[in-house]
Structure formats: structure tokens, C-alpha cells
Amino acid sequence: MMHWLDALIIVIYLSAVVGVGILARGRQQNADDYFTGSGGFSGPIGSIFVGLSIAATLFSGISFLAYPSVFYDGGTELLAVLIVFPLALAVLALYFLPRYLSGRSQSPYAIIERRFGLSTRTVAASMFILLRIGWMAALIYAPTIAIMAAADLGPPWFWPLVLTIGLSSTIYTTLGGIRGVIVTDAIQFLVIAGGIALTIGYVVLYLPASWSAAAASLADSGHLHRPNMSLDLTTQLTIWSVVIGGTVANFGSYMGDQMSLQRYLVLGSTKAAARSFAINVVGVVVVLVMLAGVGLALASWYQHVPDANLPADADKVFPHFVSTQLPIGLAGLLLAAILAATMSSMTSGINALASTLTMDFRLRFGRQLSPQKQLRFARVTSLTIGVLSTVIAGFVGALGSIFDIAQTLLGVFLGPLLACMLLAVSRWPVAGRAVIAGLITGGIVGGAVALSPIASLWVAPFAFGSTLLVVVAVRSLVNDTREPEVLGAEES
């Protein structure tokens, strides 16, 4: 059973995060203030907050558990994804951001409507909604199971934990808006990094073996093997699946996901957005390397400290280590870090989905609302999404590999959305009907790949590639490159 000091640390942390999120809400007079902060993060300090916020959002509680398990199993090929981030920085700073921010949009997918029409924007927004509702349900469920294992809690604790994680995140997101989300995300990123560093430090200090002996054991067990260069698409971790799949998935997160696009709008300028993304890249690289260190540290620990109760499922090894090895207080801090990773992504997902439903649906298809009613609708929508995701999380069954689930969810939807956004910022003349056909086909192909024996890292490349191929094919068949007229109410 969890020690009272660990429980106290977690309660204090949750209370502090909710309080900071509410206090940081700033001025909220309309939906624009609520979802973009009206450019309130445009300075250097704002860029730091937004950069850390993006990093915290992308490293959810799922990442906190999935990545160590991959490296614990010997998947060092995953480190090859590090080469993606400098490339992403160059593409965003030099190509994507100048074009994306030039339209001065007030909502992330407004540029899609300007280029391809309202129907295309609606399809894209719908894909984003499907992605994030499923993602948030899994996001709450996975850390709940991990915390139960780490704290040695029985089944009666399941619903209280689900409700605590989901509803506490919902409360301060509903009241704090995007400003509250960004400020708390930045703080939580530091907590995440601290929790990872504490785990590695504990293993380094108390491992009953020298560094050279530990490295030799890892090499003998295959954890430090040469990268797998196989071209077999059914093999999960190869250099090709990691580099190609990681490139498309990460580009999709940075250029097709409303949670990232929303933060670029908050900054209000290309220079500030590029600066914040550079900070994000540094943060992501540091955390990914540290998560790799956690996985290898756990592998080394159990090579030298045998445990008859060690779980066979790699996803459960990290929580088992927390519950059986870490001292009182440190275990609480680490569980707080897992909650930080979960809540940062949860709050970003709620705010982004509320933005989609408000800006892409309610204000586009409903009657006009006053600024005050827009804000009220945004808050009610945020509350509804948070509660719905929390309830669905309670009924998520066996998730299988957390890493596979994350890659599948992101690939099926972000692959097509990345293609759509790249076309939207390009000058290539193409009609909306071709883009709609590509989006739908890309999602179907991604789903088919996910259900096949092909490794989950290939879902995003197949979905992305099929989207572009269909756009080109339909464009050629109908011979229609007309662009739709910009609707006067599009930026409302």
C-alpha cells in the first residue's frame, strides 16, 4: 500500500497544478482569448513557455510508460528518431511557419477552408476529433493502471484514480483556457524531466555493479546490439521503420495536429513560433534520451538484482520498479511525474478539441453568438469533452502494447492531416474534392495497415502516402484545379 507521504506529495501536486492553471487564465472575453491567448505569449519568455508546453504535450503519460518499455526490451533502434527533430526544425522554420502564420488565422484549420473550402475543413476537423477522443481515453487509462501497480492498489481504486486524473485536468482546463494549459504544461515538463532523472540517478547510485560490468551485461543481453537494417515491414523496430515512420508521425504532430498549430497561433509571429519550436526540440531530445536511459537502467538493474515477481509484460516493469525499489517520498515524486505527463497532454487535448468544436463547427454552422456566449460555449464544451473522455477511459479494455496503440492512433489520422496541411500551405492548385478523397482514403488505408501484420510505425507513412497519391489521381482525373473562394465569415 502507498505510504502516506507519497500520497500527500501527489495530492499537493495535483492541487498546486489546478490552482496555477486557474490563476494563469488571464483575460478571457471571447473564444479567441480562450483558445489562442490573443498573442499573450509573443515575447522570449512566452516562447520558452510554449516550447516546453509542446514538449510536455507530446510526452504524455503513455510516452512515459511506453518508451522505457521499448528500450527495456532492447529497442535501441528507436534512438534513430533523434535525427528527425533537426529536420523538423528546419522545415517548420523555413517553410511551414511563414506560410501558415501569414494568414493571421484565429483557428488552427482556418487555412484549410481558405484553400479547399468548408467541406474539406469539416472533414479534417472531424478526423482530429476522432483521433483525440480515443487518444485521451487511452491516455487516462494507461497511467491509471501503472499507478495502481506502483502503489499496489486493488481494483476498487480504479474508478477513483480515473476520475481524479480526468476531472482535475478538466477543471483547470475549463477555467484556465489555453494560457492556463501552457503555463502548467511548462511546469509539468520540468517535473517530468526531474522524475526521469531521479530514476536514473537511483539506479546509478545503488546498482551493485560497476559501469563497465553493467555495460558488458547489456551488450551480452542484446540491449546494445547493432541497428536492425531489415526491410521486413512486419518487424517493429528497424532503422527504416523508425526513421521513415518517425519522420511522418512527428511531422504530423507538429504540422497537422491542432494542439501544436494552436500554440503557433498563440505566439503570433513566425520568429517567436520558430524560437519556441527550437526550445521544444531541445526538450524532446533530452527527455527521449533520458527515457532511453530509464529503460536501459531498468534492464541493467534486474540483470544484477533478480526479482522473482518481475512482470513479464515490459509495460509493467517501470511501475513495478517504483513500487518495490524506490524509497518513500521518491516514489511519490515519480508518480507525480507520471501524472504530470498525463495531465499536460490531457489538458492540451481538451482545449484543442473544444477549439475544433467551437471554431470549426459551432461558429461555422450555428447562429451567430456574442463574444460572451462564445466563451461560455467554449467552456461548456471543454467540460463536456473532459467528462466524456474520463468516462470512456473507465471502459477501455486490454490495451496491448502501449507503444503500438499510440503509433496506430497517431498514424491513422495524423498521416492524412499532415498531407492536408502541407497542401494547404503550398501554392499547388488543387480542388477541395481531391483533398477530401485523399483524407478519407488515407484514413482507411492507415486503418487497414494497423489491422495487418505490418508494424505500427508504418501506419503513418502509408496513410500519408496514400492521401497524396489519391489527391494527385483525383486532380488528374477531374482536371479541376480551381480553388474555392474565401468565405467572408471564415475567420469568425
Q: pLDDT tens, position by position, for the chain (492 residues)?
A: 667 888 888 888 777 777 776 676 555 555 555 555 555 555 677 777 777 776 666 666 677 778 898 899 887 888 888 988 999 999 999 999 999 988 666 678 889 998 999 899 999 999 998 888 878 887 787 778 777 777 777 788 888 988 888 887 777 666 655 666 677 777 777 777 787 888 888 898 999 988 899 999 998 888 887 788 888 999 988 999 999 999 999 999 999 988 788 878 877 788 888 988 888 888 888 888 988 999 999 999 999 999 988 888 888 888 888 878 888 888 887 777 777 667 767 777 787 787 778 877 887 777 777 777 877 887 888 888 888 888 888 776 544 567 777 788 788 999 999 999 999 999 888 999 999 999 999 999 999 998 899 999 999 999 999 999 999 999 888 765 555 544 433 443
The Cα 290–Cα 461 span in angstroms is 27
**CB contact set of 221 (below 8 Å; sequence gap of 6+):** 74, 299, 303
The Cα 396–Cα 137 span in angstroms is 7
Overall fold of domain 4-400: Sodium/glucose cotransporter (1.20.1730)
The Cα 333–Cα 318 span in angstroms is 14
pLDDT at 434: 94
H or E element that contains 435: helix 432-451
Question: What residue type is 258 in one-letter code?
Answer: Q
pLDDT at 459: 94
pLDDT at 488: 39
The Cα 433–Cα 480 span in angstroms is 9
Length of the chain: 492
pLDDT at 301: 94
Q: Which residues of 190-200 are buried (b: 16+ CB within 10 A; e: fewer)?
A: ebbbebbebbb
pLDDT at 175: 64
pLDDT at 25: 58
Neighbours of 366 (CB within 10 A): 10
